[in-house]
Amino acid sequence: MVVGEHRDCFGTMYPDNLHLRVGRTNRGKVFSVQLQRTAAMMPAERKITVDTEQWDQCTACPEFNSCYKLCVAKVALESVVATA
């Protein structure tokens, strides 16, 4: 790895919170969210899954702390944008 560059998976533990699609699994490297419509005017049913094998790989990565901080920052920003 070249100094200043990151792995391709850097910052991808969570799915893209701004573009979650109903009726399919929205995947991040570690965490996935599945949204299913229930009935009209009812919020979508949500199911969150964790790939523990990927989590173990991530926690063993030398970039884990920086990557995790970026992932959490992205989720916070996506939450702000989604409610604006």
Say what the pLDDT of residue 59 is. Answer: 98
Looking at the predicted structure, is the pLDDT value of residue 1 above 50?
no
- Residue 36's beta-bridge partner residues? 45
Residue 47: beta bridge partners?
A: 34
- How far apart, in Å, are the Cα atoms of 59 and each of 6, 22, 51, 66, 70? 15, 30, 12, 11, 14
β-strand 45-50 against 31-36: which pairing, if any? antiparallel
**Residues 58, 64: Cα–Cα separation, whole Å:** 6
User: Which string of DSSP letters, residue by residue, matches 10-48?
Assistant: TT-SS--GGG--BTSEEE-SSEEEEEE--STTSPPEEEE
Segment 13-72, tens digit of pLDDT: 999 988 889 889 999 999 999 998 877 777 778 999 999 999 999 999 999 999 999 999
